[in-house]
Structure 1
């Protein structure tokens, strides 16, 4: 084998490795996606991702609407339900892609008369499929967030009563899980979220729910069949601070966002969520009050900055809001290491191949001579 031939082979191999890894490197090094959008007095609290139509969905603190937001920040009113009581708030929303629906939690904020409901709308037509008033047995109630399972059952958290409603595919509601586990932990009365109990909720494919409790910082695992509850031990933190929105990524990682702590926690478990670990914590800044997080294709994470606290305190007139992609420094490090491993493996393979070819040439020379 000639020296020039080896050099050309090495150059070709390095060029091939560069071509393979360059798109990944550019993706990791690129600027996170920022979506600024404008809608007068929208103050959205919840965010969902509609994978079929490739846009975000949000509710509103002040309007009886669900809006779609494109990657370019174009806002369109997808659903306007004027048959709902005036001045209600559209809180948690989620997309039920298997049944082509969007589910929305409807709540009336004090001092308006109590009103807690779940509405379901067809994603194609915007027509309302049902409106289910949520029973509370004359107990205080604040319907907050919603998750849906593969059968179309929806689960809604009650942030004041600390229980979970279940609404089946036909819109029939019931009180589902009212475990004493939800009220056994002490509440810090000086906490800014002391009034808010069960909050963000996500359905896990194995047949259970993960639920965050804002005023204790606890995460609970709830059986989706019988409603039994166990508290998840997070073995490297005592509590999360005022957890709000919760979402499950396709790789099993759970994302939890806090508007009071301005943090995004990334949790994972290797034993079916008997316990878990916070393996990354991301600072979100202190402006915008991030209440909700979603994961879209390739598990890209997006956080909603809806300025809800500003709206709750009575401010009017804001029209600028944003959705921002968030990246994990921990995962970026791991991905970069993997790229270097690929390059190293390629070089090692090349030099091994070069050595073998050199040995082959020597053996052939010996036979010829």
Structure 2
């Protein structure tokens, strides 16, 4: 009887635990070793269930497991210079390829790689036109088109699945707002994500978010209650929540009118010392940021860093509700087990009474 009861309890937890919110102390934290990497971009490959990061200075791509094991992806592409700067990354899982925003020899490129388990085979390397500025982030749509932001010149390129490049948008909206004074005032359009047929793009030096039509490049400013100062990476969850990260903060945003307007659902502090730059959504609901300590590479720190971090983040409300739900479920399980035990004991007494008769 005891074994049967424990089996029922185990079955219940096994079935429902994947759907339960995660408590703050259970947030997934990954430390991985890759000397001198200083990764700026972050993406997730669902087939292998591994993250992919790349070197800020060089041509190195690393696959990182959930436990922090690393695998250097063999780059079968001499076209990618070892003097490159690799920024935004995106996995197009439908076409099983990796997209990368690369800057090399003072020119912006997009690279498309066929993604294998342990290697990258170059599909195409396309010079972004006009060949000026900084290729920063990359996203893709359901048809395989890629979109690359240029943070220096404030325009967005559209690249077909076969590598044909065109300027999608250089809207005057991108230079309409005043620039915030900061050491990063040179950095304009940055993170980009594809949502329901359009792009959402954040601008670091103004804190604005733009909605961009992927057909004609028309851009409108998303009406938000505040500026997302020094906004960098952006990602979207399956429930429609958009997550934007800066070097010290993450905002969780929602819209009910297809991103003409948006509201801030929550904001949380991030570790500024780790200099988070990119955010990615895993399994449609779990949000991760990369702490690549990029500022150390930019300022030329005297000692090369070896260890970096990828960490899960969550809204405060989700964490609080998750803790409360766990309490309720545990109490419910306890009561259920008690009543089941009481029923079983009643049956046992009845059976013993019958035997005496």
What is the TM-score of this pair, normalised by structure 2? 0.83
Structure 2 residue 228 is the aligned partner of structure 1 residue 232? no
> Unaligned 5+ residue runs, structure 2?
334-357
The structure-2 alpha-carbon separation of the partners of 1:339 and 1:318, relative to structure 1 and needing over 3 Å to count, comes to: closer
1:34 deviates by 1.2
Structure 2 residue 23 is the aligned partner of structure 1 residue 33? no
SS of residue in 2 equivalent to 1:181: helix
> Which position in structure 1 is the counterpart of 2:95?
99
CA contact (8 A) 2:30 2:310 kept: yes
1:343 deviates by 9.4
CA contact (8 A) 2:138 2:191 kept: yes
Deviation readout 1:327-358 (Å, 9 max, x if unpaired)? 22112234456678889999xxxxxxxxxxxx
The structure-2 alpha-carbon separation of the partners of 1:26 and 1:252, relative to structure 1 and needing over 3 Å to count, comes to: closer
Supply the distance in 1 between the matched residues of 2:21 and 2:160 (Cα, whole angstroms): 45
The structure whose Rg is larger is 1
> Which position in structure 1 is the counterpart of 2:183?
192
Cα RMSD for the two superposed structures: 2.8
> Which position in structure 2 is the counterpart of 1:321?
308
SS of residue in 2 equivalent to 1:310: helix
- Specify which of 254, 271, 274 is matched with residue 242 of structure 2: 254
> Unaligned 5+ residue runs, structure 1?
1-11, 347-369
> Which position in structure 2 is the counterpart of 1:150?
142
Residue correspondence of structure 1 range 212-231 to structure 2 within 5 A: 212-231=202-221
What is the TM-score of this pair, normalised by structure 1? 0.81
CA contact (8 A) 2:168 2:214 kept: no
- Specify which of 247, 254, 259 is matched with residue 268 of structure 1: 254
CA contact (8 A) 1:162 1:178 kept: yes
Residue correspondence of structure 1 range 326-341 to structure 2 within 5 A: 326-335=313-322
The structure-2 alpha-carbon separation of the partners of 1:338 and 1:93, relative to structure 1 and needing over 3 Å to count, comes to: same
Supply the distance in 2 between the matched residues of 1:287 and 1:37 (Cα, whole angstroms): 17
1:272 deviates by 0.5
Query: Across the two proteins, how many residue pairs are aligned to each other?
Result: 324
Residue correspondence of structure 1 range 51-200 to structure 2 within 5 A: 51-80=46-75, 81-108=77-104, 113-124=105-116, 126-136=120-130, 140-188=132-180, 190-200=181-191
1:79 deviates by 3.9
